Structure 1
Amino acid sequence: MNNYLQAIILYAIKKFQGERSVYAIYHMLQGKKSSQTIQDAHLFGLTNIFGTMPVFTRQQLNQNIEQFLKDGFINPTDKTDAYEISGHGEGILAGYLLNNPFPTYLNGWKYQNITPVFWGRLNLLIQTISHIVHNERRFYPIQRNLKIQSFVKEFLHTHRQDRDLIARHLYEELVSLLEGQSDLKRDIFILKLTGVNRIGLTFEQIAKSKEAEEEYVRFMFFDSLHQLLAELGDGADHPLLASLTYDWKRGGNPHLTQSTQRTLQYLLEGRSMGEIAEIRRLKQNTIEDHLVEIVLSDKSFPIHDYVSGEDERDIAAAIAELGTKKLKAIMQMVDNKQISFFQIRLVLAKMGDQ
């Protein structure tokens, strides 16, 4: 295996077990907000890599698939463009990940939207404060996004106390969180920061300095950011850092698409799926997709209005016995003409990657 990208692709092929085409991996890494891709991310345990490579291309995917076939890492299935990892591929992948461990805290599904915003705000805030405390008021902002610039200006306007005090508190909060990270992740995070008389390094520059692969460095940086976000909690111990994410947390369920959030609001008002479809002028199937997405995001969401307890147990038993997430196979195993594919999808969503 030549690089970390290949490890990620082969890892996804292993997870899919030949039940999805390789182009599902393409959509997964890009973070496509379709019902199918969102459902696949949860059902096959790939929420970690969801949306982690938004510039990933079909050409990159196809080139790696061709190489995998040539090297005997994967085998074709009877489904078009679907492959299973071979025994040889399993061994190669395990050996590679032993030396290049998979990120522990990586959760692209959960943090896909907030990650670039959080990092942009934090990096610009550190750059700005570091210049202020060194009495250098003129500098080129590392972050060109006007919304992020506006946020940092508002942050500094709100926190009017002594800038040296803010700098010290921000430093203390960061140190307390970074101390719990690996040396590599901590170093990558620090090397990416911009301040007085220093510009954050690129992933390529960090990779060279660490004698590591660039893609691996990039994933470790995401892992570092996601660990920070996960450990911020309610912000009681890290109020300054947590305040960089408050607007994201207040925006309802940040993991649902906007359309699904609208459907959820109608459901909470007691509307039926048929009523919602009519009100929103959408197909019933679309509302069903939204409901599956809601259950994927919130396993405690009640589904008994749509599938009885007995049918849920029958479907869950069939899934466990078959060891597959193929709807037709599950339907045949249950052998109940009253059960629909939608109900099977709901139970799959509730079970998650079990």
Structure 2
Amino acid sequence: MTPNEKKALKAHYTLRSSTFFRKLNELSFFEFGKRIKALAELDEAFSWDNRSEWGIAECAWDIIRESEISPLFLFLHPRILQEQPALLAYYRSVALLSQKGLKQILSIAVEGIEQSAKVPSREKVQKICLLINEFMSILIESVDGISLEQISGMMFASAGTQIQGSWNNAIGLEGELLVRKLIIREFLNKNIIKGYTLNNGETFPELEKPLESAINIKVILLTTQGSIVFGSEPDISIYDKNGVVRGDIEIKAGIDPGGALERLGAAMKSFEKTRLNNPLCECLYLCSCVTEEVAKRVAESRNFGTMYTLNEIIYESNKKDEFLNRILSLAS
């Protein structure tokens, strides 16, 4: 593996780490422990008299009761799906049951329940509870004991598997988000953000958590009366107060060398369209993989722009500062 390939791989796995953390937050896995603990403190508000009908094996029930762990940490009560359906993600994950597995076995769409908090029908509630509690009962009976730390570990293990399944499709978005966050943080530090317009069209002078909201930000409004627009083709555009595009940024986070020229070609076409409106627009290309042929094409292009690698932007402070200073100068 060449040094450039190792740098590309380092940036790739940095984006992977960022994706996992972001998705765990988006999917509420960091909140589940607190929510379940709050329910467990009200344990007596739940009746388990019909537990056998819900798939809970008596042996597993006795083990949990002897452990003094509230059954609400492990077993899915039908009321949970009716009152807090989004918690299906927690109980399914603790039972080490994937979304795909549950859907295949029961023919029930899981995403709508977990992400949209859509209350399932009584028939679906019964089927879901039965399956998850059967899985959980077998797990409990197969070990000598279980702890809250193990329960948390089981949940995050399932979450990781779920996120890994979508990682390959998320790398492009994660590369864009990383650059967005760098720009937002720098502009916040310089105190030149006037407001934000979100993807849904709403505009706010401030956001409580602008970095965590980066995926939902469409436009940053600047004190210079210009703006920064996040989109596609190009991924980021910088406009002056007269609506003239001053800079365009294309971000390609893929690391496959075989696709490097194709990604470069897509960026070049985007830059050509921009320069039809403003030949003086500064174009910046951020990528993970730079092959010899890519470097050659860029060097031979008289009007290409400036290329940075994502590894440089992430790990080399001088390159990161150089890039951000370019953005600041274009936005001023």
- Return the TM-score normalized by structure 2: 0.31
Larger Rg: 2
